[in-house]
Amino acid sequence: MVEKNKPLRQSTLRLMPPGVTLRRVIDGCTSRVMSLAIDPSGGLIASGHEDGIVNLWEMNTGELLHAINTHGTDVTGIAFDPSGKTLATGGKLWQANSGELLHSFEGPSRGARCIAFDPSGATLAGGGFDGVDLWDVASGERLFQSEGRPRHYSSLAFDPFGKTLAAAGDSVVELWEATSGKQLHTLEQESLGVYGVAFDPSGTILAVGGDHGSVLLLDAKNGKLLRTLEGHTSAVDIVAFSPNGRLLASKSNDDTIRLWNCDAWETVAVISVPKMHNIWIPSLAFHPSMPLLATAGSPHDAPEDERGRQIHLYELDYDVLFESKTRTKSATNSTAVGGEAIPKTVHSTTAKIVLVGDSGVGKTGLGWRLAHGEYREHDSTHGQQFWVLDQLTTTRKDGTLCEAVLWDLAGQPDYRLIHALSIQDADLALILFDPTNSRDPLGSAEYWLRQLPVDCPKILIAARVDRGHPVLTDDELATFCRRKGIAGGWIATSAREDAGLEELTERMKHAIPWDDMPVVSTDAVFKRIKDFVLGLKESRTRKQVIFTATELHVAIAKQLKRRVWTESISAVITAVGEIQILAAIRNLSSQGFVRMLTLSSGEERILLVPELMNNLAASIVLEARRNPRGLGAVEESRLFDNSYGFRELEKLSEGDKALLLDGTIEAFLSDRLSYRCFREHAGEVKLLIFPDMMNLKKPQRDDLITENGASYILTGSTENTFAGLVVLLGYTNLFVRTD
């Protein structure tokens, strides 16, 4: 039965998943509950509100003890000290039992948006729009202030030993040495916002939630990604571990709280919460000793302006929750929990294998043979290609499914910069060289060894050995491998004659560090969507490469009619909507399998073949370098009518051509590709200018006569001014190169 401190709408008593009971509803809040904290004794619960009020409630009765007017904006950060006698909000200390203001700290000019006490209670950390500050609680002295670019910090957490402070700000997770303020690690999240951080009770794992819609589990010592928990379909606002370390809770803008079993990292319950206008509300707190979880709530039929004005206390039955996990694991594909199907969790990891080497050395031929088991002649290309290597699929001792994807990267000098960015997360590198090259057979291998991460396993491959005699001896190659730290050694191969490929496959199996690779724990539905998309991506009969979420949803439904999947998973996928499709696709995009294409209109499309965009971008850059005036520019109109004759567009439909060009140009202009680019107008002509592709050199003369004449006005970034002026002058046909 629900306990409450005043009558509630009947709709509050909604269906709960097994093991979760809505035990108490605290009502009477004047505005939305933005943050929550429970004191260490478990007797008080503090709620920070949108109107700057902090309420303190008696936990057992829900009685309001007193209200504090912080005279500020929404209270998104609130914390009790370890004694429970002091409450911190926004850089201010309050006496918990009376609400009396004890001290205000000098700190961020716009206030601390997130607050955390260290385990001893001697230090208080505050983060806001201006940075992170550490204060001595007793004296009020500021011990530390972060330097560098100001970030919008949204969450702070000390590890259980008080040695490390984790901070989530903008798209970065930072780890600081708590005693000195020394920055230990900075973890970028590729322009995706991060909102919540929490250490597990052992201090070994740091959980991170954010725009990526997944929960990332990091090694608390070095920041290494250990596991990704997939299941939410929108941003994760906050994460919290239960005090006993058995559960992780994550609250998302998809209107759910997920409970994860910290032993198997599987979803054991999904709690429905009311929609909060897609705003960040970090209101989630575990009771320090009882199996209770507090969060902001409201009746499901509450008007929008009244949502989130309650505090809901959920009682958790661990035995039932973990029994639900067991039922889920033993079920074929899913189990019903609280009227909602929770699909079986699939644990997998994907190895990224990169093929690198000079152009024309045989990378594509080797990759095709490994992927398809047949030989095919391939012309040299500046693009990228992608294959799944089924022969490398295996299973780890912990049950994790291991899959491998082979990336063929072009070797032309003009594209080494682009492709060098694609190898930083490689799990294995196959470095190809021409053993018959008498001038410098290992020159390109030396280049790629400098680009590859030092700890990336590598295998040196003498390719196309059927086409000539090697100029290096076996001993010379073995010595080179020892000197360069190529643990996988070298091997001679021929894709044409199928020579050395069986041995190469075995070496690849042993070289990939499967046990050290991060795991993705995902719903079986997400895994099915991934498998479908990868199958569609590799299909030789595929006619469409760019989809909306609706089109992809329809394609999956058609696939269901053609393939025999189990009845339960078919029912689940049939019920999956476009939001779930997009969530799964975004996860695939973060792994490089597909790409979210942002158009100039702001709309998004799903590009099944991300390497197609890379290849087109490379061709555009090449064309800019070939500009007949040496100006490093291309004309947009000629891109859209394909006057340049780009091969990447030849087999695409007219609709896909236009979308791909639009998305590629937008990526250039928004600096999401490797080359600097900006747009300029020369009369009626729209130009894309690549300053790095200009072939102009400064004249080595000091006798040139200059005079004042026409003036030109340019707008945009300062670093683009010179390049823009040069191109505009060049397109007037009045100025020519003198040297």
Q: Is residue 695 classed as helix, strand or coil in its secondary structure?
A: coil
Place of tokens 């990332």: 216
Q: What count of other Cβ atoms lies within 10 Å of the Cβ of residue 561?
A: 7
AA letter at 1: M
Q: What is the reported pLDDT for 111?
A: 65
Q: Is residue 530 classed as helix, strand or coil in its secondary structure?
A: helix
Q: Is residue 149 classed as helix, strand or coil in its secondary structure?
A: coil
- Nearest-10 Cα torsion for 190, 196, 197, 198: -150
What mean pLDDT is predicted for residues 590-595? 74
> Which are the contacts of 404, defined by CB distance < 8 A and separation ≥ 6?
350, 351, 353, 388, 389, 392, 393, 508, 512
Q: Is residue 481 classed as helix, strand or coil in its secondary structure?
A: helix
Q: What count of other Cβ atoms lies within 10 Å of the Cβ of residue 207?
A: 28
Residue 269 has pLDDT above 90, yes or no: yes
Q: How far is CA 295 from the centre of its chain?
A: 26
> 321's torsion region: left (phi>0), alpha (psi -120 to 50) or beta?
alpha
pLDDT in tens, 167-219: 988 888 999 888 887 888 888 766 578 889 999 999 999 999 988 788 999 99
- Nearest-10 Cα torsion for 642, 646, 650, 655: -50
Q: Give φ, ψ of 127 to 5 degrees.
A: -130, 145
Lowest mean pLDDT among 96-105, 320-329, 335-344, 468-477: 335-344
Sheet holding 64-69, edge to edge: 33-38, 44-49, 53-58, 64-69
Q: Which residue has the higher pLDDT, 367 or 629?
A: 367
Going by pLDDT thresholds of 50, 70 and 90, the confidence category of residue 534 is confident
Q: What is the reported pLDDT for 326?
A: 47
Going by pLDDT thresholds of 50, 70 and 90, the confidence category of residue 567 is very low
Q: If we measure between CA atoms, which residue out of 678, 667, 673 comes closest to residue 726?
A: 678
Taking the C-alpha atoms of residue 346 and residue 468, their distance in angstroms, rounded to an integer, is: 47
- Structural element, H or E, at residue 230: none
Taking each helix axis as running N to C, give the angle between helix 578-590 and helix 524-538, from 0 to 180 degrees, rounded to the nearest 10: 70
β-pair partners for 699: none
AA letter at 733: N
Going by pLDDT thresholds of 50, 70 and 90, the confidence category of residue 302 is confident
Distance set, CA 239 to CA 61, 157, 251 (Å): 27, 11, 7
Taking each helix axis as running N to C, give the angle between helix 578-590 and helix 549-562, from 0 to 180 degrees, rounded to the nearest 10: 100
Question: Across 218-227, 242-251, 383-392, 623-632, which has the greatest mean pLDDT?
Answer: 242-251
Q: What is the reported pLDDT for 708?
A: 59
β-pair partners for 145: 133
Taking the C-alpha atoms of residue 33 and residue 40, their distance in angstroms, rounded to an integer, is: 20
Residue 389 has pLDDT above 50, yes or no: yes
